[in-house]
Amino acid sequence: MAHVQEQRRGALASAIATGMLGKGDENATAMFMDLDLLHATIAALKRAPFPPGTLHTFAVKANPVGRVLELMRDAGMGAEVASLGELRQALACGFPPNRVAFDSPIKTREELRFALTAGVRLNLDNLQEVQRVAELLAAEPELLGSTAGNCSTAGPRLIGLRVNPQVGEGRIAALSTAGKVSKFGIPLLDCRGELLAAFARHPWINALHLHVGSQALPLELTVEGVARVADLAAEVEAAAAAAAYGSGGCRRIMALDIGGGLPVQYGDDDLGWLLGSSTAAVAADSMAADSAAAVLPTPTPKTETETKTEVVISIFERYANLLRQRLPYIFVGCDDINNIETAVADATTNNDNDLIKTISTTATTNTLTIAPQLVTEFGRCLVAKSVFAAGRVEYSKHCGGRRVVVSGLGGDLLLRAVYLPDTWPVRVELYGNVGQKKVCGTAASTDLADLNEPSGPGSLFPTDVVGPLCFQGDRLAEAVLLPPAHPGDWIVVPDVGAYCLSMYSRYNSRCSPPVWGFRRRRQFATRQEDETSTAAGMTPAIATAVASAVATMTKAPEEEYMLPGAWAAGSSSSGSSSSGSSSGRVVAACGADYEFVLLRRGETVEE
């Protein structure tokens, strides 16, 4: 969509103009995160009708930049971690331990001890790991803390079992974790009896966890996986009730962690599927990039009564609605909780101590009617669309009837796109040396015969866009039609906010790039508000969502959302210097229309 691409171009041009990008060899590549879009995405998640009290955690593996994690923490997110390193990082970034879920498929004895000591949520991957924890707790009972296995107001220590619901695989087997055979979790169909026995044997197990897979899965399959594990939870509750477990009405299952994995639409700049819109006209081209996207989310079904206009809801709302339709019982008790809280507040206002006591007693005796806390672990869908990467063109040559353009972006940062191009194609865009647009972006997988010729100066020519690594396959796009590229121009790849920097390859000892956050300056945002709804090629769904984000995220200085790091007018353009304190308000601005903050400095060879 034209408006979103223009945002990229504007941020790129502003970064070049201020010398943050392209000034010297040390800043020939960089990543840029749209902080307005990031906050709008988090807001869309929070608007989705998940049960009250749901804990939304961010999958650190998707984007482990420390200051991005601080933004997530400040936005009320928890953290999902899959290694001791990620666990330590989450704690160092200030996430409260009870809002950190540790899900690694391999945890050593010392890592388990560390997690138990820290008090984080712990999900055990297999029955041998259960036995290992049992041995640790037998030898060191203090690791469990004083609140495990009871209904203390301090809350129980949450230790869960990861269950493989065995519902099947999606289109990308490597990212499907709930097949008949999987490296993850305890297989439900094979080990249902063992799972029930583990709960009966170990009262400190009080949660369940699952993750069906990522990206190439229909939401309905994910929901079916949740349903199977929720049915297991009901069995555990029934068995506990029959055994008179926990006098006082405690739930046996305190938390149900349903994982993440929501798919991202990589093929274009449409944001309607991500942010949603209360009123939107769905353009015919909103889902037209199926062949270019790695995997697209399933379009919202249309009813017979829909005409040219319909409500477009975010993928988060779609998922929550599907969960409620398929599993209404995991939402049971939500209204009761709200009613109880309201009644207590009213009674407190009226100083009615007898009523407060009655309400508290009623709530305790009806605890079993309240569903366990729901936990999510979204990663890709929160950050993928908010980041683009830019690499300076160093050389351009002709070879075998094609033009070959060499930039600093390749298989080190875009590892999946280079090694698995059919599964993970990327879009490439070409800009001039000061950020001026040369051509609209096209997908690397676009067939030449089907390509609509993009507008732009110069003669279009089949072009391979290649990277810096020392092997022939380091290629982002093959035979894509582009105008002439010259040294000093810029290759831009959108949608690289997830599983790019975290999977960075150090082949050839190349250093990872700096990461800059950017947002539109307030006066620029105000100037743009009326233009947003009529931007060329932009659907009303996007216009409404972006306008809402602008209104929310571009307030007066005293109302600005907090940002990590010092804003970068005087910072080293290479990103090699410290970026300041962990949080702060705007202290300087870069460029006429955009402000930048250093989120992560680039690496050096010495490091």
Query: How does pLDDT run across 414-451, given as a tens digit for each residue?
Result: 999 999 999 999 999 999 999 998 854 444 444 433 33
Contact 395, 453 (CB under 8 A): no
> Average pLDDT in the 223-227 region?
94
What pLDDT sits at residue 349? 56
* pLDDT, tens digit (0-9, with 9 covering 90-100), for 540-571: 444 444 444 444 433 333 334 445 544 333 33
Residues 256 and 372: their CA atoms lie apart, in Å, by 6
Burial label for 284, CB within 10 Å (0-12, 13-18, 19+), is exposed
Task: Classify residue 17 by its DSSP letter.
Answer: H
Query: Average pLDDT in the 144-166 region?
Result: 72
Across residues 288-299, what is the average pLDDT? 35
Question: How high is the pLDDT of residue 574?
Answer: 36
Chain-centroid distance, C-alpha 236: 31
Rounded Cα distance, 472 and 65, in Å: 30
Give the DSSP letter string of 479-523. Answer: EEEE----TT-EEEE---SSSSGGG---GGGPPPPPEEEEEE-HH
**Cα–Cα separations (whole angstroms), residue 571 to 13, 29, 253, 390, 538:** 18, 17, 50, 19, 35
What is the Cα gyration radius of the chain?
A: 26
Using 50, 70 and 90 to split pLDDT, how confident is the model at 185?
confident
- The CB density around residue 402, as the number of other CB atoms within 10 Å, is 15
Count of CB atoms situated within 10 Å of the CB of 296: 21
Q: Tell me which of 14-23, 71-80, 410-419, 484-493 is least confident.
A: 14-23
Euclidean distance between CA atoms 543 and 162, whole angstroms: 41
Nearest to 27 by CA among 437, 511, 468, 427: 511
Q: Which residue has the higher pLDDT, 445 or 9?
A: 9
CA separation, residue 411 to residues 53, 140, 427, 501 (Å) = 41, 47, 14, 11
Q: What are phi and psi of 461, to 5 degrees?
A: -150, 140
**Strand extents, DSSP E, 6-120:** 29-34, 55-59, 78-81, 100-102
Q: What domains, with CATH codes, occur in the chain? A: 156-263 (3.20.20.10), 333-370 (no CATH)
> 567 has which bridge partners?
597
CA 378 to chain centre: 5
CB 165 within 8 A of CB 110: no
Is 511 catalytic? The answer is no
Alpha-carbon separation of residue 589 from 145, 298, 568, 592 (angstroms): 48, 40, 7, 8
Q: Active-site residue among 191, 381, 440, 470?
A: 470
∠ CA 477-7-522 to the nearest 5 degrees? 160
**Coil/strand/helix, residue 308:** coil
Least confident of 289-298, 363-372, 487-496: 289-298
Pairing verdict, β 29-34 and 515-520: parallel
> In sequence order, what E strands does 71-120 have?
78-81, 100-102
